[in-house]
Structure 1
Amino acid sequence: MSKLIFFLLLTVLFTVSDQKPTAYDVVKRYNLPVGILPKGVVDYELNTTTGDFKVFFNDTCKFTIQSYQLKYKSTISGVISPGHVKNLKGVSVKVLFFWINIVEVSLDGNDLDFSVGIASASFPAADFVESPQCGCGFDCNGLVFSS
């Protein structure tokens, strides 16, 4: 009986230690706020040597934060390093009538800088402590959207 209990404990320990951290946990480990990823990540790939990553959603995710409309494709990719994401692909912001790709995100003190290449905008990093919800961002009023 004690051998069975020991085996079960080892199985549980190895199962727990083999669990892949969530994409949100990984973002935190790179000193970035989880709110740069909307809710709904279904999987991700990360090369810890190069920082190359891909994040997967079930579908395209659109939402508005403040006066900015954002769109995440079903797969986004880039290169992550502490406090920085570069070569970002699959995330865009609507400016006037055009969707412009966000190509870089970096933590600068207490601000997050979002670059579209020729211009950038800064926002308090504290605004990204929580992940926005697809469809409604942070203004969901109890509504639940899947994408």
Structure 2
Amino acid sequence: MVNMAAAASTHLFLLLGLAASAWASAPYVPPTVSQLMDRFGLPRALLPETARRYLLHDDGTFELFLDDGCVVDAGGYRVGYDIKLSGTVSPGAVTGLKGVRVRVLFAWVPITGVEVAGGEVTVHIGPIMKSFPAVGFKSSPRCIASSAAGSEVAAAADV
């Protein structure tokens, strides 16, 4: 009787060991860009749908990659995204942002940061800040699909 109990407990430990090693060797699936935006309390609509890959470092710095350069119409503004965006992310904020521009009159001006608080999204355009209601940032904008969009992004990158 004692041998059967010892054998049963040995089998149990072997099964638990196999289950633990299978769990430990399961591939890591990182969060999607949308899930990452949610995790940091940032509206998904800050990025176009083509934002799919990223590198996020322990210090909060990131590199985010779009399928291609992109221009969107958002809230009456034309916004241009490079293929690669970078900056530092923290809960409710992105600082040191590079790779995003907004068209103001005839010039493309860099967007350098974004803050989300109190139901508002505040965009930093150099030293200027402009706030918008967060409810206007519900869905990711679609890139303008035309050959003009590609040249517009290229022109924006030259600023």
Aligned to 1:39: 49
Once the two structures are TM-superposed, the CA of residue 129 in structure 1 deviates from its matched residue by 2.1
Aligned to 2:59: 50
Once the two structures are TM-superposed, the CA of residue 42 in structure 1 deviates from its matched residue by 3.1
Distance between the aligned counterparts of 2:35 and 2:52, measured in 1? 13
TM-score by length of 2: 0.73
Aligned to 2:97: 88
Report the aligned-residue RMSD.
2.1
Say yes or no: does 1:22 pair with 2:21.
no
Q: Secondary structure at the match of 1:14?
A: coil
Distance between the aligned counterparts of 1:40 and 1:63, measured in 2? 11
Distance between the aligned counterparts of 2:111 and 2:51, measured in 1? 19
Q: Secondary structure at the match of 2:26?
A: helix
Distance between the aligned counterparts of 1:66 and 1:105, measured in 2? 16
Aligned to 1:129: 138
Aligned residue pair count: 127
Once the two structures are TM-superposed, the CA of residue 92 in structure 1 deviates from its matched residue by 0.3
User: What residue identity is the alignment partner of 1:29?
Assistant: R
Aligned to 1:79: 88
Once the two structures are TM-superposed, the CA of residue 108 in structure 1 deviates from its matched residue by 2.3
Structure 1: gaps spanning 5 or more residues: 137-147
Aligned to 1:145: none
Once the two structures are TM-superposed, the CA of residue 66 in structure 1 deviates from its matched residue by 2.5
Distance between the aligned counterparts of 1:116 and 1:40, measured in 2? 23
Structure 1 runs of 4+ with >6 Å offset:
none
Aligned to 2:12: none
Give deviations 1:48-74, integer Å, cap 9, x for gaps. x21000110121110111220000000
Higher helix content, 1 or 2: 2
TM-score by length of 1: 0.79
Identity percentage over the alignment?
34
